[in-house]
Amino acid sequence: MHTLQTFQAIINSSVFGVFIYQEEGKIVFANKRFCKLLDFEEEKELLGKRITEFLPPDMVDMEKIENIIHMRTQGKRFSVEFAEHYFKSKSNAIIPVSVFAYTVEYNNKPSGLVLILDKTKEKSYEKLFFTLSQINQLIVRTDDEKELLKKACDIIVDEVGYPYCAVGYIDQNNLFNQIYTRAKTKEAEEEFKKLTIGVDENTPYGKGSVSKAYHTKKVSLIPEISKLPYTSYWHDFFEKYNIHSACSIPILKKGKIVYIMLIHDTLSNSFDQDHIHLLEELALDLSFALEKIDSQKNMLVLDKAINISHEWVVITDKEGTIIDANDAVCKISGYPKDELIGKNPRVFKSGYHDRAFYENLWKKILSGETCSCRFVNKARDGSIFYLESIIIPIIQMGKSIVLWIYQGM
C-alpha cells in the first residue's frame, strides 16, 4: 500500500515527468509534467508515439536506446539511471534531464517505466558559471580589445558549448553590425552574419533582445523564442538551427554602450530571470575589461610622455606618495629616482610655504580641481629652486592619481 501511494505521488508530481512505453517504444501513459516538458497540452497527443521521436539523435546513443526498449518489452527486468540524458520537445528544444528507468507490468504487459527530472536550470547555471570563469581568465591575460572580444566569442561557443555568439556595435543606420561571430558550423556562422538585426523598434528586425539591451543598457533575455511573436522576423533562422533562447549583453565604456554581445542556445529557458545576476556579472566583467585596456593604453602613453618630457613631472597617489618621477625631477632636485619612490613631495619642502598653503592645495586636488601655483622648493643638497606648477588629479581604473607638472623658473 505504501509503495502504491508513493508511486501515485510520483505520477502526480509536478517535479518528475513520468511515462510508460510498450512494444516498439510506443507511449501508453504520460503524466502532466511529462506532457508539459515536451510542450504538449494533453496526454492523448503523446499516446501511440514512439519515445525515440523525442530523443535528439546527435546527442543520444539510439542503438543503445532501441536495445533497452526491446529488452524491457520482452520482460527483462533491470534498472537504468542516466545522470545526463537529453529529450527534445515538440518544437525541437533540447531538454537536459536525469533519467530513471525500470521494467514493470502495465495492463498485464511488460513495459518500460521512465521518470525524468528536468535539468535545464542546472545545466544553464553550469554553462554560465563556466563562461564567467573562462572570460575572467581571458581578461587577466589579454590587453588588446579586439583580441578580447574575438576570444570571448570563441570561448562561449568552442569551450562553453553555446551554439552562437556575436559581438557587434550599433551603426549609424541603427543596425547591429557584427564584428566577431562564432557558431558551431561555418554554414551557421555565415548565415548568422547575414541576419538583419536592428534597434529601431518601428521595424520588424528592431524588436529583439539586442534592441532592448541597447535601449535599456541592461541585459535582455528571451527565455523561449517560440512564444514571442516579435521574434518572427528571424523565424526561419531559429527553426533551421534549432534556436530556442537568447540573451543580449550590453558592454559599456564610461556609461555608454560600445558593443553588444548576443548569445543563442538550443535549450529553452537557458536564459531567464534566475540567471540574470550571472549575466549581469558577465556584462560588468566585459565592461571592466575594456576600461582596463583603455586605462593601460592611456597610462603607457602618459608614461612615455613623462619620460621624454624635459619638464619636471611627478606622479603621486591620492595620499601623496610618489609613485613615479621623470629624469627632469632627478636632475633638478638632485635625488635619484629610487630615493623618491615611496616618499611624499614634502621631501622638497623649503619651509617657505605654511601649513595652510598645503592643506588648501590638497583640498582642491582631492575635490578633482586642477591647480596652478608657484613652489619654492629645496634640493637634496639644500639649494633652493623655484617651480611654476600645474597639478592635475586623474582617475585611472577607479584609483585616483595626481599628476604634478612643474615648469622651472
Spell out the CATH class of 2-118: alpha beta
What letter would DSSP give residue 185?
S
Q: How many CB atoms lie within 10 A of CB 348?
A: 22
Q: Per residue, what are the HEC states of 28-94?
A: EEECHHHHHHCCCCCHHHCCCCEHHHHCCCCCCCHHHHHHHHHHHHCCCCCCEEEEEEEEECCCCCE
Interval 384-399: pLDDT, tens: 998 888 887 776 545 5
Does 159 score more than 80 pLDDT?
yes
CA distances to 101, 102, 113 from 81, rounded to whole Å, are: 6, 9, 12
pLDDT value of position 241: 93
Does 408 score more than 50 pLDDT?
no
Strands of the 176-183 sheet, one edge to the other = 176-183, 164-170, 256-265, 245-253, 220-222
Q: Mean pLDDT, to the nearest integer, of 168-180? A: 96
Q: Mean pLDDT, to the nearest integer, of 223-247? A: 91
Find the radius of gyration of the CA atoms of the chain. Answer: 32
What pLDDT band is residue 327 in, cutting at 50, 70 and 90?
Answer: confident
Q: 335 in helix, strand or coil?
A: coil
Does 304 score more than 80 pLDDT?
no
Q: Can you give the residue ranges of every domain in the chain?
A: 2-118, 122-297, 308-408
What pLDDT band is residue 170 in, cutting at 50, 70 and 90?
Answer: very high
pLDDT value of position 303: 67
Spatial distance between the Cα atoms of 180 and 330, rounded to a whole number of angstroms: 48
Does 74 score more than 90 pLDDT?
yes
Q: Which CATH superfamily is domain 122-297 in?
A: GAF domain (3.30.450.40)
Q: Mean pLDDT, to the nearest integer, of 103-119? A: 93
Spatial distance between the Cα atoms of 152 and 139, rounded to a whole number of angstroms: 9
Q: Against a cut of 0.75, is the pTM above it?
A: no
Q: Examine domains 2-118 and 308-408 and report if their fold is the same.
A: yes
Spell out the CATH class of 308-408: alpha beta
Does 218 score more than 60 pLDDT?
yes
pLDDT value of position 2: 42
